[in-house]
Amino acid sequence: MARMTLRLKLGLSFLLVGLVSASAVGGAAWWMLMRDFQASVEEKAFKNFRGDVEAYVTQFGSWEAAERVYAFPDFVRQRHLPRAPLSAAEQPDDERPGSPRRRRPPFKFTLIHADGRVIQAAEGVARGQIAPPEWRKNAYPIKIDGKVALYAIPLGRAELSADDRIYLGLMRRALFVGLAVAVVVAAAFGFVFGNRLAASLGELTKAIRGLRTDGELPESLPVRSKDEIGQLAEAFNHMGQSLSDAHRELRTSNETILAQSEQLREQARRDHLTALHNRRYLDEQGQTMYAHTVRHHRPMCVMLTDLDHFKRINDQYSHGTGDEVLKRVAQILENNVRSSDLVARYGGEEFAAIFAESSLAQARERCETLRRMVENEPWEDLAPGLKVTLSIGLCDNLALGSLSAMLSEADDQLYRAKDNGRNRVEPGVVNCVVQADVAVPE
């Protein structure tokens, strides 16, 4: 049998040590990453749940009062809808309303009242049952107005999102590739320069153990020569820098994706020509404003306005001029209402507005101002002889029962304004505050 050389022995020994070290470091790093990542997901899940519960109870006064108006899951969907109002076509199949494959929430909680009553039941626990005292040991307190009003008890483990799984997959692959490269490079240099590698083994092992999963570089290996051992140190330093750069690029990519996603959500809520909110946003946000107004017995008035003879403007001056007229009118409307009011392009040459906390008289005065501003705008800057006026219809009758009914009444008043000669405001029926017996829409 051929005699095994020292170089071969050292190479094989280093290969074995490299494999064992890589497995140990990789396993420990992956376990720590999963543990910390899971804890972060659960903490974020409870933070979101607590925010929803606080908003739910705060808005309606108590959990029982809130349930009479909104089921908690419906409230949560409604609360988060304005920040991400994707159309049905834009939503994934398993995210669309009514889809049988809607994604489950990332985390679930049993909710108990401060007096111990279960108000959101879990499997095997009846609603209204008095929770055992030991349940509160693992419960998260939820404070309302500085006092603990509810306790949330986590159920099971948080489910990771698709983005979380992609991120962990990339980290796992980067970790495995990095450790594999380290083992291969170390074994090659071990066979060629076993005697010198033995002296550098401690430094290399320490450097491998210094690899971190957060993308931060460990302390670089010193390069004492330009031979193979020095090249090994350089290769390891380059690998660490590559991992750090890859992590940084991944983080930058995630930030870019988040920013683009937010931009797309905002674009879905805006009219592309006038930059005003679109009709879908008006319907969603306006119904919330209507419900709040009715519940608190406050005044509110809706406006529907139409550009007079707009087809004539397009036919006589061109559609490009018509688009410029729409943009300038939109700017006048947006710049001359309060921040608490809502202005949107309703469709074509129609615009709509919701005046919060405004009586019919106040809304009419504001609309008269808007009408005069549009009439007195120097339209001849766009085209010689161009004149633009508005006809406006108003409605403050909250007793009609919904925002759509009020808009329909405002539309009738708009047609009345046109029938009466255009370039005028028709206020509709005076009915500033809804009566106490008007039902709040669910």
Give domain status of residue 131, yes or no.
yes
CA–CA dist 110, 286 (Å, integer): 33
CA–CA dist 404, 411 (Å, integer): 10
Give domain status of residue 173, yes or no.
yes
The β-bridge partners of 141 are 151
Whether 413 and 297 map to the same domain: the answer is yes
Whether 187 and 216 map to the same domain: the answer is yes
pTM assigned to the model: 0.43
Give domain status of residue 92, yes or no.
no
Whether 291 and 404 map to the same domain: the answer is yes
Whether 50 and 141 map to the same domain: the answer is yes
User: Which among 105, 102, 94 is positioned nearest to 46, based on CA atoms?
Assistant: 105
Tens-level pLDDT at each residue, the chain (442 residues): 556 676 667 667 767 877 787 678 778 877 787 778 777 877 777 788 788 888 888 888 777 788 888 777 788 887 877 554 444 444 444 444 444 444 445 556 788 887 778 887 665 667 777 877 777 677 788 888 878 878 887 766 666 667 777 877 887 787 778 777 776 766 665 566 566 655 665 666 666 666 655 556 666 777 777 766 777 777 877 777 777 777 777 777 777 777 666 666 766 789 999 999 999 999 999 999 999 999 999 999 999 999 999 999 999 999 999 999 999 999 999 999 999 999 999 999 999 999 999 999 999 999 999 999 999 999 999 999 999 999 999 999 999 999 999 999 999 999 999 999 999 999 854 444 443 343 433 3
Give domain status of residue 27, yes or no.
no
CA–CA dist 70, 77 (Å, integer): 11
Whether 134 and 188 map to the same domain: the answer is no
* 350-356 β-sheet, strand order: 342-347, 350-356, 300-307, 390-395, 425-426
pLDDT of residue 414: 96
CA–CA dist 4, 12 (Å, integer): 11
Whether 120 and 250 map to the same domain: the answer is no
pLDDT of residue 251: 74
Beta strand segments in 92-210, E: 108-113, 118-120, 140-144, 147-155
pLDDT of residue 82: 57
Give domain status of residue 98, yes or no.
no
Whether 217 and 334 map to the same domain: the answer is no
pLDDT of residue 262: 65
Give domain status of residue 1, yes or no.
no
The β-bridge partners of 344 are 277, 352
CA 8 to chain centre: 58
Whether 235 and 283 map to the same domain: the answer is no
Side-chain half-sphere CA neighbours of 259 within 13 A: 6
Residues 6 or more apart in contact with residue 305 via CB below 8 angstroms: 350, 351, 352, 353, 367, 370, 390, 391, 392, 393, 414
pLDDT of residue 6: 60
CA 370 to chain centre: 35
Range of the domain at 312: 279-426
Whether 218 and 284 map to the same domain: the answer is no
Give domain status of residue 246, yes or no.
yes
Give domain status of residue 76, yes or no.
yes
pLDDT of residue 83: 54
Whether 198 and 298 map to the same domain: the answer is no
Whether 260 and 297 map to the same domain: the answer is no
In degrees rounded to 5, what are phi and psi of residue 414?
-65, -45
pLDDT of residue 77: 81
CATH number of residue 290's parent domain: 3.30.70.270
What domain count does the chain have? 3
Whether 295 and 377 map to the same domain: the answer is yes
pLDDT of residue 56: 81
